Chains A and B, each alone.
Chain A
Amino acid sequence: MNIIDRRPNPKGKSLANRQRFIDRARGEVKRALSDALKRRKVGESDGGEKVSIPTRGITEPMFHRASSGGWRDYIVPGNKKFVVGDTIERPPSGENDGRGSASPEDGGEQDAFEFVLSKEEFLNLFFEDLELPDLVKTRLKESEATQLSRAGFSIAGTPANLNLVRTMRNSLARRISLHRPTPSEIAALQRQVDAALAADDAEGAAQGSLDLDNAQRKARRVAYIDPVDVRYNRFERVPKPNTQAVMFCLMDVSGSMTEAMKDLAKRFFLLLHVFLTRRYKLVEIVFIRHTSNAQEVDEETFFHSRETGGTIVSTALEEMLRIVRDRYNPANWNIYAAQASDGDNYTEDSDRCSLLLGGEILPLSQYFAYIEVGAEATLRHGFPSPPTDLWRTYGQIAAERSNFAMRKVADPTQIFPVFHELFAKQRENA
């Protein structure tokens, strides 16, 4: 008999198979993901995602008999009251009344197949070919924050940074090269002298004590640890990439925004947040809602409370600027903003909006996306509806600024394509 401990063996023998499975089910998984996203909250992007995908495409079919029709008999345990000739109501179909040897390999079909994707797998699939606009990189160079990073050894430093291993290695090398006698060699000489004295060998004793004396003198002269041996760990300050971002969600909550429109906006915000979390260690979210005036609110209020009043977009932009000034120094924060609106605006406000956006907000921000959510009816209309006030205003800015983008969305299914379009890798343009 042999006992073998296999525990130290590499784990994850199935990883390659798992990867193949996910590749295989890629299409299905992606569809399941966008469903799963509907349930999430904007700030909730940690952890993996449980996805349930239909078995289509990943079935392993086998020939097996149909579950209904024909003539069949079962042997069942646990008879309590039946006698021969009794009748039992047929259990609802789909209910397995237990064939004695029914096994899972029987070809038992499942309707859906549920498994958990790790966070990494989830995000990789989701943002498979998306990239943050290249602007970020220019920004990174300017960042001022630094962090310490190990950078070899130095001969000067504080005792706390003393590198013992290096120091002792230098010391040993020096002692060997200078022939510093070791304590055991000195002890041996001492024994030699003692032995000579004990044997009354005067000449040997004199010679011995001379050697001993030399050795001891040399040991005193060649220090055990010399200042030249000492080494310290060296640290260098390296510029730290800006790894924090703030994301502003701006939304018009006036009466003209319906629940469906808000839902569209929410999905877009959600996607942007997940995407940003992939790039930055810390992503803060600021929700600003506005009607004819703007205020910062929490997520719950942002999406679910209703307000009445006119629509003045510039108030939201001002509020955003104020918050940036107060809390988010553009030198330390990457600023992203997404604005959702149905496009209504107080006509006189348009100029002010374009001034605020073009003159102040865009120079501070990494990216500003404007999503115009429309009721489906207006877009499905035979004629394209005339552009809204805001759309016209922003249209001019979009032409001038590369970090501003605007899109129309009318239907939940368009959210992902639009998002995809905004962030699709644009190597050639960069």
Chain B
Amino acid sequence: MVAADMVEEPSGLLFEGPEWDFDKLRRVYDAIEDIALNEFGLDVYPSQIEVITSEQMLDAYASIGLPLMYRHWSFGKRFAREEALYRHGLQGLAYEIVINSSPCISYIMEENSMAMQTLVLSHAAFGHNHFFKNNYLFRQWTDATGILDYLTFARDFVSHTEEQHGVEAVERVLDAAHALMNHGVHRYARPPKLNLEEERQRQEDRRRYFEENYDDIWRTTLIGEKREEDVSARAKQRTEIRRKLGLPEENILYFLEKRAPRLEPWQRELVRIVRHISQYFYPQKQTRLMNEGCATFVHYEIMTRLHEKGLINDGTFLEALHSHTSVIFQPDFDDPRYHGINPYALGFAMMRDIKRICLEPSDEDREWFPDIAGNRDPYGTLRHAWANYRDESFVLQYLSPRLIREFRLFRVLDEAGNDALIVRAIHDERGYRDIRRSLARHYDLARHDPDIQIRDVDLAGDRCLVLTHAVHNGILLDEPSCRAVLDHLGELWRYGIRLEEIDASSDRVLKTHEVPARL
């Protein structure tokens, strides 16, 4: 049927041999598109395929996968490290990088063989692309059409600022903002869409506003000096100030951008840029398992279909399978290669498992997944899962007992003070739910990143910024890194800072870190 259009190769094959060229890429893309859209019902952004060299791939790595980026030494550091690893053969390069934008840009490397290009096109241009376009987190939190424009703005702004204020001054702010990057995310409210023109305008407005006005935060000090007699009135006033400032606030960068008393407008703008980039990556961090699982599943299914339809030969298929199996390899915990659970392996296994449950459910599946078992619509079910879950909820919903047995998952408890770890659950009837729940928790970013919030600012006094870390399970912050980050924070806030580690269950203060004011 489809093969009828592919008259170029008399055998019906799309290509033969390892060499690739642009014609072949186009032909293969069309064949994949036919399968992906018509058979699997995927829905993708328009694609842009860019062929790059390995050196350019290293460049792309260094700028955290984005095609444009402002300049900063940390990207040079990343580049130096990746290059050293690559040169020593310790680490291969990724076959592709894909960018959540519209059009969806997939980088593919010139070194890949044609079989690999086919695999990569299915993986990136359809798997990831579909996920980016349909998953609710990406739909709500990132703006695929605006990101490239915004990055252009960011890059130009940073280089312009460097010219005006010197590289060093800009670097200091960026360093500090990078240190707080993970705490520059709105977790609950949806951020507004990015718009290049508005960004420029707003930055200009801000500059003018600061030229014309005093900041509120300066004025409140006068109130403090009036020496309030009444203690309760004073407490009330503090509550009022906190309400006005929107405290407690967990988006530290946001708070600094809006409220830090001694930042220049351009410094605020830099903080904002870092905050936006962090926000852009936030959904990716929450959906790594699903995103890779989706892409891996899609490339596997597409390669299989291409082979079934006689569009690729056995050699190509085997080469792709060889690469596929090494990607989804999951070593056991006692294996020296073990490095945590491989998101490709678990993601792919879960997607396949869902397909199996839809088509050939066992009695166990009927009991655990009554609504999808045997519904004969694997792709519809998967599309629904891809669109409406993130890693945590996906594991919680779809990890089946059968997979727990296959991976032989078990839960180990590590309590400080005990000499030994204790096995709390294994792959048996009593353990399934326990393991599923704990594994899902590991994918919950909110639990993974330390929960740090700005609680109070002593506006009437020394403007000391008070942060709290809600300590769960008695795990404190790592001391040296905490100190270093607080130093960076001090760079932006300029007054004293106190971080209290408070046990979440008992409200007891376990530890306090302080940084003096910089005057």
Contacts and interface: CB of A to CB of B under 8 A. Distances in A.
B182 A115 contact: no
A113 B74 CA distance: 13
Most chain A C-beta atoms within 10 Å of own C-beta, residue among B48, B50, B80: B80
A70 B331 contact: no
Dominant SS among interface residues on chain B: mixed
A84 to B, nearest CB: 6
Interface string B288-300: 1000000000000
B427 to A, nearest CB: 7
Interface string B436-472: 0011001100001110100000000000000001010
Contacts of A71: 413-416, 473-475
Most chain B C-beta atoms within 10 Å of own C-beta, residue among A1, A80, A89, A109: A1
A7 B76 contact: no
Contact of A72 (B47, B450, B473): B473
B335 A85 contact: no
B459 to A, nearest CB: 25
A109 B76 contact: no
Given A11-B59, A98-B340, A87 B73 contact: no
Interface in A91-129: 96-102, 107, 109, 113-116
A2 interface: yes
A385 interface: no
Interface stretch (B7-15, B189-197, B358-366, B404-412): B404-412
A14 interface: yes
Dominant SS among interface residues on chain A: loop
Given A72-B414, A84-B426, A63 B51 contact: no
A66 B48 contact: no
Interface stretch (B239-247, B253-261, B263-271, B481-489): B481-489
Nearest to B475: A70
Contacts of A19: 76
A90 B83 contact: no
Contact of B475 (A12, A69, A89): A69
A17 B73 contact: yes
Interface stretch (B22-30, B200-208, B227-235, B301-309): B22-30
Nearest to B183: A63
B47 A2 contact: yes
Interface residues of B, number: 102
Interface string B401-436: 000000111111111101111111111101100010
B49 interface: yes
A58 B420 contact: no
Given A70-B475, A75-B410, A98-B339, A21 B438 contact: no
A326 interface: no
Contacts of A70: 416, 471, 473-476
Contact of A107 (B55, B428, B478): B478
Contacts of A2: 46-49, 103
Given A6-B56, A66-B477, A98-B341, A79 B426 contact: yes
A65 interface: yes
13 contacts: A3-B29, A6-B51, A58-B73, A60-B77, A62-B182, A75-B439, A84-B423, A85-B422, A88-B412, A99-B340, A100-B439, A100-B442, A107-B478
Interface of A: 1-7, 9, 11-14, 16-24, 50, 58-80, 82-90, 96-102, 107, 109, 113-116
- Per CB-CB distance, the 9 closest pairs between chain A and chain B, nearest first, are A78-B332, A21-B76, A17-B76, A70-B475, A70-B474, A61-B484, A87-B420, A115-B80, A100-B442
